[in-house]
Chains A and B, each alone.
Chain A
Amino acid sequence: MFRYVIRRVLWAIVLMLAVTLITYVMFFAIPVDAARLVAGKSATPAEVKIVAHRLYLDRPIYAQYGHFLYNLVVNHSLGYSYNDRQSVNTTVFAAAPVTASLVFGGALLWMVIAIPVGVLSALRPRSALDRTAMVGVLTGISAHPVWLGYMASFLIGYKLGWLPIQGYCSFSGQNGGAFCGGPADWFTHMVLPWSVFAILYAAFYVRMIRGNVMETMNEDYVRTARAKGAPESLVMRRHVLRNAMLPVVTMLGMDIAIALGGSVLIEVVFGLPGLGAVAVQSVEQFDLPKVMGVVVFAAAIVVIFNLLVDILYAWIDPRIRLA
């Protein structure tokens, strides 16, 4: 197990390097003169040259990449944005809690829906509940989140006025006091995004949980437990669910990790200034440091989260823990 952990950590580092390198190289393929962008439209060639030098743009690529890595590891800095004139760290750390609210809240919601529906459908296959659930699943998977988002925003936000149409309010209400703040506002602004976000994932998970539970119920060891005289509730808890949910743990970890990396669609539809929105914005602006910063941060989250999930899974499955 220890060897397994060490190996995974080493791979995580390699992965991070690969991600940053590829992003860096890709960005260089774009024919944009960053120095000119930063210097401004009215800059003279001499001024552009000075800016280029200050931005390290006159060095070879590998030197720039090296500088970036140094900055990252030693100074814990993700870079300095061309456009915003502020450290990328600031931008990213402001956006991260938004995405985190969306993803963790959404994940909680989708699990709260998926587990009971999935388990009950598995226990009563082909019943009315099961069939309804499967129709729901099909709808959830088919409906595009963007469409769903706009429909929800329009119908419930605009037409019915029950919930805000879009926008984000920080939980702690310190948002420059601008429009809103505090837990209540935060909550009402998140309800629609959470729901839309959760629908798609809930659909997948209902299907997966149903499948896993049905399969596990047919396992020989479940029959053994019944043969020992265990009541059905114990059989379900200790034998069926414990085993059926194992693969769900891995999936959940992976899905959360990916979503944390940037749930662009929902953020854009609902105007939430999260990491996904920042990423889109920085690409439009050709703002390399911001792009790099978001990518690195997101990649780090994904990699760390996956690592944790792998370790957790290896720990709870004794077949792997004791290999």
Chain B
Amino acid sequence: MPLLDVRDLKTHFKTDDGIVRAVDGVSFTVEKGKTLAIVGESGSGKSVTCLTIMGLNARANTITSGEALFNDRDLLKLPSDELRKVRGQEISMIFQDPMTSLNPVHSIGKQLREAVQLHASVGKQPANRRAVEMLKAVGIPRAEQRLGDYPHQFSGGMRQRVMIAMALINNPDLLIADEPTTALDVTTQAQILKLMTQLQRDFGSAIVLITHDLGVVAETADDVLVMYAAQPVEQGGYQDIFYRPHHPYTWGLLNSLPRLVTEGTDLKPIPGTPPSLLRPPSGCRFHVRCGYTMDVCPKVEPTLEAVPGQAGHSVACHLEESVKQHEASNLLSQLKTGAKA
């Protein structure tokens, strides 16, 4: 029984210019205690997917369909005060920019206590104790003294730790992290990722990690979902995505990494830019930028189909299996040798 089972999720926003199809048919599962990475670029829909599950989209002008089954309930159909109880207690979310995600005029102690007291009627003292416990767990030195401090008195990395503490304070079953390390320095990123994996072990929570950094995915993910233009293009275990990628977009992402290219040669970026979600391209949305486009691609939208012989691995692409496998093995050898370049 997966912890979270999302089926054919769609989120459309009504705007003055038309309907923006921000998420257009995403399905995935998250197992207890495991990590799912959702990978994509800006506009891929990865953030909106999670905001929809959490019910954090603006209610006006938003049309949502599909199911998000969590602990036997469909989150998308829950009345708002029920959903509110789930947020922060059974599912928590942390966001990208730690500098702005904390209220500057309340102390972090107050904000941590709020997280506790929203879901349990406890007094100030027990809430404080719990807050200190969590601050210690995330590695903030002198936790008791720092309860009364304000966000501006912490550095970026520290603030992100505080956010993580706040998210895990009620021991949620699932933590959604939306690009949690993108705004941080590389050494701080390493610290935060290490912290998150350790906390996952200690608390047993599942993690949905949204990112555009394939390196982060390689280090932390059990399962991977690659999204493009509001749709899933490839899904599978981490080894499927890195060692047996089957979609031209995934190949493009891997090829864009400087690490994989031998010194002196140019990178092989994906030409063009992500498409508009108001009027996405017809047929396969990636066909405009794909280097392997065939006649059928602009006409027929590919559906997510299982890759023969690889359980749990599915891809949405019209290319023949043999072509995909060929490319996959090319990339694999590049990965292994290029890694030494």
- Contact between chain A and chain B defined by CB under 8 Å: yes
Chain B: which residue is nearest A321 at the CB level? B150
Given the contacts A219-B100, A220-B97, A223-B56, A231 and B105 also touching, CB distance less than 8 Å: no
Given the contacts A223-B95, A224-B95, A228-B115, A246 and B56 also touching, CB distance less than 8 Å: no
A318 to B92, CA, bound (A): 27
CB-defined interface of A215-228 with B at 8 Å, one 1/0 digit per residue?
00001110111111
Cβ–Cβ contact A239 & B103, under 8 A: yes
Chain A: which residue is nearest B100 at the CB level? A220
Q: Which residues of A contact B104 (CB under 8 A)?
A: 221, 243, 318-319
A231: which of B81, B102, B106 is its contact (CB, 8 Å)? B81
Cβ–Cβ contact B150 & A229, under 8 A: no
Q: Which residues of B contact A225 (CB under 8 A)?
A: 103, 114
Chain A: which residue is nearest B149 at the CB level? A322
Cβ–Cβ contact B54 & A246, under 8 A: no
- Chain B, 56-85, CB within 8 A of any chain A CB: 56, 81, 84-85
Given the contacts A220-B95, A220-B100, A227 and B54 also touching, CB distance less than 8 Å: yes
Cβ–Cβ contact B100 & A221, under 8 A: yes
Question: A317 near B: Cβ within 8 Å?
Answer: yes
Residue among A220, A228, A243, A317 with most chain B CB within 10 A: A228
- Chain B, 94-112, CB within 8 A of any chain A CB: 95, 97, 100-107
A234 to B106, CA, bound (A): 14
Given the contacts A220-B95, A319-B152, A229 and B87 also touching, CB distance less than 8 Å: yes
Question: A32 near B: Cβ within 8 Å?
Answer: no
Question: B119 near A: Cβ within 8 Å?
Answer: yes
Give the size of the chain B interface in residues (CB under 8 angstroms). 30
Question: B221 near A: Cβ within 8 Å?
Answer: no
Cβ–Cβ contact A221 & B119, under 8 A: no
Q: Which residues of A contact B93 (CB under 8 A)?
A: 227
What is the minimal beta-carbon distance from B159 to any residue of chain A, in angstroms? 11
Given the contacts A229-B84, A229-B88, A224 and B101 also touching, CB distance less than 8 Å: yes
Residue among A224, A225, A316 with most chain B CB within 10 A: A224
Question: A230 near B: Cβ within 8 Å?
Answer: yes
Given the contacts A219-B100, A227-B56, A319 and B150 also touching, CB distance less than 8 Å: yes
Cβ–Cβ contact B103 & A322, under 8 A: no
CB-defined interface of A228-260 with B at 8 Å, one 1/0 digit per residue?
111100100011001100100000000000000
Cβ–Cβ contact B87 & A226, under 8 A: yes
Cβ–Cβ contact A230 & B101, under 8 A: no
CB-defined interface of A301-318 with B at 8 Å, one 1/0 digit per residue?
000000000000000111
Cβ–Cβ contact B105 & A229, under 8 A: no
Question: B153 near A: Cβ within 8 Å?
Answer: yes
Cβ–Cβ contact B97 & A228, under 8 A: no
A253 to B336, CA, bound (A): 67
Cβ–Cβ contact B118 & A230, under 8 A: yes
Given the contacts A220-B100, A223-B56, A319-B150, A228 and B105 also touching, CB distance less than 8 Å: no
Given the contacts A221-B100, A223-B56, A224-B163, A318 and B81 also touching, CB distance less than 8 Å: no
Cβ–Cβ contact B56 & A226, under 8 A: yes
Q: Which residues of A contact B118 (CB under 8 A)?
A: 228-230, 234
A322: which of B92, B101, B119, B153 is its contact (CB, 8 Å)? B153
What is the minimal beta-carbon distance from B55 to any residue of chain A, in angstroms? 9
Q: Which residues of A contact B107 (CB under 8 A)?
A: 318
Cβ–Cβ contact B119 & A229, under 8 A: yes
Chain B: which residue is nearest A242 at the CB level? B105
What is the minimal beta-carbon distance from A142 to any residue of chain B, in angstroms? 28
Question: B86 near A: Cβ within 8 Å?
Answer: yes
Question: B11 near A: Cβ within 8 Å?
Answer: no
Question: B166 near A: Cβ within 8 Å?
Answer: yes
Given the contacts A220-B97, A243-B103, A228 and B88 also touching, CB distance less than 8 Å: yes
Residues on B facing A (Cβ under 8 Å): 54, 56, 81, 84-89, 92-93, 95, 97, 100-107, 114-115, 118-119, 150, 152-153, 163, 166
Q: Identify 17 new A-B residue pairs, CB closer than 8 A, beyond the known A226-B87, A317-B105.
A: A219-B100, A223-B101, A224-B103, A225-B103, A227-B87, A227-B88, A228-B88, A228-B92, A229-B88, A229-B89, A230-B88, A231-B84, A238-B114, A242-B106, A318-B104, A319-B104, A322-B153
25 pairs across A/B with beta carbons < 8 Å? A220-B95, A220-B97, A221-B100, A221-B102, A223-B56, A223-B101, A224-B95, A224-B102, A224-B163, A227-B88, A227-B92, A227-B95, A228-B92, A228-B114, A228-B115, A228-B166, A230-B84, A230-B114, A242-B103, A243-B104, A316-B105, A318-B104, A318-B107, A319-B105, A319-B150
